[in-house]
Amino acid sequence: MTHRPDASAAPDAATLSNSRFLKALRREPVDATPIWLMRQAGRYMAEYRALREKRTILELIKTPELAVEVTLQPIRAFELDAAIIFADILPLLAGMGLGLEFVQGEGPLLHNPVRSAADVERLTVRPPEEALPFTLEAIRLARQALDPLGVPLIGFSGAPFTLAAYAVEGGSSRSHERTKALMMGDPQTWQRLMEKLAEAVGQYLKAQAGAGAHALQVFDSWAGQLSPADYRTHVQPYSRRAIAIAKEAGAPVIHFGTDTAGFLEDMRDAGGDAIGVDWRIDLAQAWERLGDGVAVQGNLDPAALLAPWEALRARAQAVLDQAAGRPGHIFNLGHGVFKTTPPDNVKRLAEFVHAATQR
Amino acid sequence: MTHRPDASAAPDAATLSNSRFLKALRREPVDATPIWLMRQAGRYMAEYRALREKRTILELIKTPELAVEVTLQPIRAFELDAAIIFADILPLLAGMGLGLEFVQGEGPLLHNPVRSAADVERLTVRPPEEALPFTLEAIRLARQALDPLGVPLIGFSGAPFTLAAYAVEGGSSRSHERTKALMMGDPQTWQRLMEKLAEAVGQYLKAQAGAGAHALQVFDSWAGQLSPADYRTHVQPYSRRAIAIAKEAGAPVIHFGTDTAGFLEDMRDAGGDAIGVDWRIDLAQAWERLGDGVAVQGNLDPAALLAPWEALRARAQAVLDQAAGRPGHIFNLGHGVFKTTPPDNVKRLAEFVHAATQR
């Protein structure tokens, strides 16, 4: 089995459209199950650490040539079926007026968090080419490098709720107390915040597809902190709106969240050609609930990549077994690659997924 | 409706056995839905902060008279239907030989974490009266204070997995990478660790019932970080063993976890007269999956207690609506009370649950 088309014969758009990844997103039969990994570019790779040594993460993201280089690193190293543009979900908030900083060892900080109606009013939804030109340019450049390799490119954004959680908390949070207090206590301000975020997210995703991204992933990383009822009332309408805007550009959308086993159906109903599920639910059970109308992406525990190969292989096989016989499975982790992951495990995993599913 | 029996007529054991809480645990009809809250004694109460001011948390736990005082604080202040002994899950690990410290602002630290087979061998399972005499004494003293009030007392322990996660990580963790690496990479050492913890947990719970606890709660706070398959293979047998030992004393067991919507049935199958569920799943759906053979405890988002009363009331009513018509519901949060919670919201919530369900 050849992993990718012969690089000497540059594939045209039709070839990429027939790539495993994009076919699986359309739930068409594929020659082998496609695999890519969330955070496949990152600190677990020596090549990445070398680039990062003298630069901040924001410098990498805001310099399109460097963002492209990072995007390509895992594609060169491993048999991965899609690239994802190297970026972060938080510059979108910076583009709306929040002061973003990544503090060594502490994670992201937003210096003027959104806590009141006045704070929400100050947020501006600017055209993506103005607010986030660097990532759109990186997508254009990445396509030039990836097209000859026959590898499709994924653009992405945080979902409105996950971005709202960062904006309100001013950074990461375990319990999202301030976010939920605003959502529950001042639903009108919440609604206005989510409307703005839905518009910004939707336009950003659409612009990424316009710049050349073949598919788009919406990360609702914190949605699973909510009750199903709060998700339905205070989140789902805005995710739906963002995804609807994104879809205007025609690219398929992957809708991903963690801790969502309690309301997978509600997530699906907000939109997405594929639903990304984490490892906290059996893939077969998740798919049974989601039905045949969507592709499914997932769902290996990223911790399995820390285990010896035999333990990793067994868990990867278990994921494949649960998806067997259904078109539309994209192999992935249930969350991002840990920075302690041995790269050789990523290499073997990608090869294994292809070999084990070859048709 | 009288909230509690007349304190002047000291209730005997039979009266307590007929308390709402214990009846609900047996899935018998009750005059109103019982309510207690995880971490109902704690920093959100001024009375607690006053006691804590000059003492460490371990001093409070290890001084039975003070532990009893803290246990009683929320019982005096609110219409709660059960007390839970003031203690912590980690002294059990200290009793097995790990160095435990609570560091201001950082949470718990275990100074000699368990990372190897030799580390596991060093762990000792001592009789609970030797290892944790202070909590057993606190239970005996608390009964003397609670019996005249007609309020039953809950003892508790961490579940084997949650304790293993603390023991291996050496403290709190977001991703439990070391724990999972040990579990997946060295299943024999893992098994030995879990066997010891199951024995220690089971004996500790049984001793608490022997000291007078009317019911026992097993906190598997981190179980939801696992895939259902890993839960079944590497956790469930040891939770089952711990619960089976605990049940030898005859007291009912509440089996609680968070993020467990993906494998509620597996948790139930490990044992427990009641299953505690968090807010990430609709209570009606959780109960449907759990079946009629168990009581259900939960499942309000603790963040709802930060909201204005009307928003809190609506969410509490929604929980009650989902449990309506079924015996065996114990109202609780899906996790512990936040320290930012206004005590008045706890007061109103308890009164509301009783008034709204009066039969």
Q: How do residues A172-182 score in pLDDT, each as one tens digit?
A: 998 999 999 99
**Is residue A151 within 8 Å of A36, Cβ to Cβ?**
no
ipTM of the modeled complex: 0.94
pLDDT tens for residues A30-46?
999 999 999 999 999 99
Say how far apart CA A260 and CA A267 lie, in whole Å.
8
Q: Does the pLDDT at position A9 exceed 60?
A: no
**Which CA distances in Å does B315 have to A137, A168, A235?**
46, 22, 16
Which of B227, B232, B234, B299 is the best residue to mutate to test the A interface, defined by the most A CB atoms within 10 Å of its own CB?
B227
- The model's pLDDT over A273-282, given as tens digits with 9 standing for 90+, comes to 999 999 999 9
Shortest CA gap B178–chain A (Å): 9
Write down the residue that tokens 């972060």 correspond to: A88
* B206–chain A Cβ distance below 8 A for any pair: no
pLDDT value at residue B11: 54
Residue pair A160/A201 in contact (Cβ under 8 Å)? The answer is: yes
Chain B residue at shortest CA distance from A231: B280
Q: Are B184 and A262 in contact (CB < 8 Å)?
A: no
Rounded to 5°, the CA angle A128-A130-A132 comes to: 55
What does the pLDDT average to over B53-68?
A: 96
Q: Which pair of tokens denotes residue A74? A: 């895992």
Nearest CA in chain A to B303: A177
Burial class (CB in 10 A: 0-12, 13-18, 19+), A2: exposed
Q: Rounded mean pLDDT of A176-199?
A: 98
**pLDDT tier for residue A126 given thresholds of 50, 70 and 90:** very high
Under the banding of pLDDT at 50, 70 and 90, the label for residue A341 is: very high
Closest CA to A13 of A212, A156, A210: A212
CA atoms within 13 A on the CB side of B30: 29
- Residue A124: is its pLDDT beyond 70? yes
A344: number of Cβ within 10 Å: 12
Give the C-alpha separation, B59 to B23, whole Å: 34
Which residue in the list B166, B204, B231, B238 is annotated as catalytic? B166
A326 is annotated as an active-site residue: no
**pLDDT at position B80, please?**
98
Q: What is the mean pLDDT of residues A38-64?
A: 96
pLDDT attached to residue A7: 44
Question: What integer best gives the mean pLDDT of chain B?
Answer: 95
DSSP A23-57: HHHTT---SS--B--TT-SSTTSHHHHHHHTTS-H
Mean pLDDT of B111-133: 97
Query: Can A43 be counted among the known catalytic residues?
Result: yes
Q: Is A289 a catalytic residue?
A: no
Residue type, B218: V
Q: Could you tell me if A281 lies within 8 Å of chain B, comparing CB atoms?
A: yes
Q: Quick one: pLDDT at residue A11?
A: 54
CA distance B19 to chain A (A): 30
State how far the alpha carbon of B168 is from the alpha carbons of B160, B163, B165, B193, in Å: 12, 9, 5, 10
Per residue in B1-23, pLDDT tens? 446 654 444 555 567 999 999 99
Q: Does A352 have pLDDT greater than 50?
A: yes
Looking at the partner chain, which of B263, B279, B307 has a beta carbon nearest the beta carbon of A181? B307
Whether A119 shows a pLDDT value over 90: the answer reads yes
pTM of the model: 0.95
The band of B236, judged by pLDDT with boundaries at 50, 70 and 90, is: very high
Q: pLDDT by residue (tens digit) across B304-343?
A: 999 999 999 999 999 999 998 789 999 999 999 999 999 9
Fold assignment, B13-357: TIM Barrel (3.20.20)
Q: For residue A81, which phi and psi values (nearest 5 degrees)?
A: -95, 0
Q: Specify whether B126 is catalytic.
A: no
Task: Tell me which of B184, B234, B263 to substitute to probe the interface with A (most A C-beta atoms closer than 10 Å).
Answer: B184
The pLDDT value recorded for residue A311 is 98
pLDDT of residue A2: 47
Residue A174's nearest CA partner among B314, B57, B339 is B339
pLDDT value at B135 more than 50: yes
What is the residue extent of each domain of chain A? 13-357
| Mean pLDDT value of segment A316-332 | 95
- Assign A3 a pLDDT band (cuts: 50, 70, 90): low
Judged against a pLDDT cut of 90, whether residue A105 lies above it is answered with no
Q: How far apart are CA A173 and CA B149, in angstroms?
A: 40
Arithmetic mean of pLDDT, A334-342 = 97
The pLDDT score that the predictor gives to residue B113 is: 96
pLDDT value of position B250: 96
pLDDT for A1: 42
Shortest alpha-carbon distance between residue A287 and chain B (Å): 12
For the record, the structure tokens of B318 come out as 């929604």
Hey, what amino acid is at B157? S
The answer to whether A184 faces chain B, any CB pair under 8 Å, is yes
- Predicted pLDDT of residue B14: 60
* Amino acid B4: pLDDT: 62
Q: Is A237 helix (H, G, I), strand (E, B) or coil?
A: helix
CA distance B261 to chain A (A): 5
Distance between CA B172 and CA B177 in Å, rounded?
11
Give the model's pLDDT for residue A15: 72
Please write the tens of the pLDDT for every residue from B143-176. Answer: 999 999 999 999 999 999 999 999 999 999 989 9
**Would you state the pLDDT for residue B94?**
97
Instruction: Please indicate whether residue B5 or residue A150 has the higher confidence score (pLDDT).
Output: A150
